Amino acid sequence: MMLQLVWQSRRILAPAIILAWLALAASLAQAIGKPDFKPGYNFYSPQEDVLLGKESSAQIDKQLPLLNDAGALQYLNGLGKRLVAFAPNNHPEYAWQFTIVNSAEINAFALPGGYIYVNRGVFDAAENEAQLAGVIAHESGHVVMRHGTHIASQAVVAQGGLAILTSILGQGGSLTSQLAQLGLGLGVDSLLLKNSRTAETQADEVGTYTLYQAGYDPRAMVEFFQIIARKYPQRTLQFFSDHPNPQNRIQDVDAEIEELGPPRGAKTDSPEFEGLKQHFAEIDPPPQQKGTPKMEAKKQSPPLPSENFIRYDGKKFTLNYPDNWRLQQEEDSVLLFPQGGMVTGAEGETAQAYGAAVSIYTPQQENWGLVDATQELIESMRQSNPQMHVLQQSGLNLHGNPAVSTLLQNDSPIEGQRETDHLVTVRQGDTVLTFIFIAPAGAFGSYAPAFDKILQSIDLARLR
Ligand SMILES: [Zn+2]
């Protein structure tokens, strides 16, 4: 009851109280030691898990090849729904939607709110229905333990906790724009999908329990993970990168099974599963693909910048940016870009073709002036961009701070296109804070209003 009260009123409680309470709850959970299926701390509601999962799945459905096979989907959804009926911490609003990815890679993943993806390769590698059920039960464990939004909550705490939480909650932006602001992103590369070993252990515990309650051999899940790691090392790279192997996985599962007591059933296989394997062997094989598709260059241009802007509150500056852009925080830089704004360049490297990038440059010379330092920066950029040249340079006043504005032209990472870059430099102590606005030359005009709006929103007040 206390727990419910705390979480439901999280938006009016002082964050400091929440954080103190979290630390206490975590230490209590460790002291008890027994698996009690209690999710980690979370600033989101289960309803928000569903909203977030739904938006992520809409993106992922466009990024991955799906298998639209009515019979197979009916079987998978039937099996999945039968299983999750036995999962702990289930919420009635969870979507429980199971999708098949038409890929020979052995992989499966779960989005918040019950959107589960199982690759065709899993059906191929599973030796019986119980092993497939084990994969589903494990993935549903990530859902009911709410690992995705737990990661998002950890990001809130990691990024300065109190301030960022207050500022995010105060903005009233959409849930996905909040996540973008935390640098988590959606889609196949989202950090929401990167589970910790602790999360894996929890998903194993829930998965084993669910299998047991549903009358399957509860060893089938861990058995499957062992088989695929041994037999298909190349086809499981993504799986074990998203699902790192917990230590003592087998011993932990065995201990749990012992505690659960005599088996409720030991179902291993079904004629439906064997029939489906046969069916998959007869239809067209999955299309060839090189691993999981990253954010590839799309034929069409990214969506234009939204009129609605959201706030980024960094340590060194604040600015506003379109709410349909993603924010990616690197160690010393912040990248802001639309869907499709990052492309794969000629040498296979990831490069930004649209959006804005903010970073810090430390000049080599001593006692530098801003114009000289900017010149030095441009020379250093030219080393990796030999086709770059300056179109125009002028002074600029950035909220009372002297700045240098440089318009550049360069080769776009999109093949056969030129790009325009607007570089703005401003002194920040011993370093130069640099803002670069990037778009293909032909599209720069339609991005210029958004770029100007971002530029006008930049606040360096804290530097003075
Ligand atoms: Zn997992």
5-14, 27-36, 101-110, 294-303: segment of lowest average pLDDT: 5-14
What is the distance in A from the centroid of ligand 1 to the CA of 243?
Answer: 4
Indicate the helix (H) or strand (E) that contains 334: strand 333-338
Cα Rg of the chain (Å, integer)? 25
The reported pLDDT for the residue numbered 164 is 57
d(CA 173, CA 190): 19
- CB of 416 closer than 8 Å to CB of 345: no
Output the CA 132–ligand 1 centroid distance in Å: 14
Distance 80 CA to ligand 1 centre (A): 16
Determine the pLDDT at residue 147.
95
Q: Which residues is 325 bridged to in the sheet?
A: 338
What's the CA gap between 141 and 90, in Å, rounded? Answer: 10
Average pLDDT score over residue span 444-457: 84
pLDDT at 126: 97
Give CA–CA dist 203/180, Å, rounded: 26
Average pLDDT rounded to a whole number, residues 71-95: 97
Q: Mean pLDDT for the chain?
A: 83
Q: How far is the CA of 58 from the centre of ligand 1 (A)?
A: 21
pLDDT value, residue 173: 61
Spacing, Cα 110 to ligand 1 middle (Å): 8
More confident residue, 88 or 416: 88
Report how far ligand 1's centroid is from the alpha carbon of 401 (Å): 49
Q: pLDDT tier at 289 (50, 70, 90 boundaries)?
A: low
Q: What tens digit of pLDDT does each residue of 219-252 get?
A: 999 999 988 888 887 788 778 878 888 888 899 9
**C-alpha torsion sign, points 390, 394, 399, 401:** positive
Q: State the pLDDT at residue 464.
A: 42
- The span from the CA of 154 to the CA of 160, in Å, is 10
Task: Choose among 370, 334, 366: nearest CA to 352.
Answer: 334
3-state secondary structure (DSSP) of residue 325: strand
Q: Backbone dihedral region of 264: left (phi > 0), alpha (psi from -120 to 50 degrees) or beta?
A: alpha
- In the chain, % of residues over pLDDT 70: 85
pLDDT at position 165: 57
181-195, 284-298, 317-331 — which one is most confidently predicted on average?
Answer: 317-331
Q: Is the pLDDT of residue 295 over 50?
A: no
Q: Which residue has the higher pLDDT, 354 or 456?
A: 354
**CA–centroid distance, residue 191 to ligand 1 (Å):** 14
User: How far apart, in whole angstroms, are the C-alpha atoms of residue 283 and residue 184?
Assistant: 37
138 CA to centre of ligand 1 in angstroms? 6
Edge-first strand listing for the sheet containing 333-338: 325-329, 333-338, 355-361, 431-440, 418-428, 401-411, 389-398
pLDDT value of residue 171: 58
Q: How far apart are CA 458 and CA 464, in angstroms?
A: 14
Q: Which range (23-27, 399-403, 433-437) has the least confidence? A: 23-27
CA of 319 to the centre of ligand 1 (A): 36
Q: What is the distance between the alpha carbons of residues 206 and 110, in angstroms, rounded to a whole number?
A: 14
Question: Collapsing DSSP states into helix, strand and coil, what is residue 353?
Answer: coil
Read off the amino acid at residue 64.
L
In angstroms, what is the span from residue 16 Cα to ligand 1's centroid? Answer: 31
Amino acid at 193: L
pLDDT of the residue at 5: 27
Span from the CA of 384 to the centroid of ligand 1 (angstroms)? 39
Q: What is the pLDDT of residue 166?
A: 57
Give the pLDDT band (50/70/90) at residue 109. very high
CA of 192 to the centre of ligand 1 (A): 12
pLDDT at 207: 97
Confidence of residue 161 (pLDDT cuts 50, 70, 90): low
Render 191-233 in DSSP notation, one character per residue.
Answer: GGG---HHHHHHHHHHHHHHHHHTTB-TTHHHHHHHHHHHH-G
What pLDDT, on the 0 to 100 scale, is given for residue 413? Answer: 86
Angle formed at CA 233 by CA 227 and CA 239, multiple of 5 degrees: 85
- pLDDT band, very low/low/confident/very high, at 437 (cuts 50, 70, 90): very high
Asked if residue 352 has pLDDT above 60, the reply is: yes
Max Cα-Cα span within the chain: 79
Confidence of residue 462 (pLDDT cuts 50, 70, 90): low
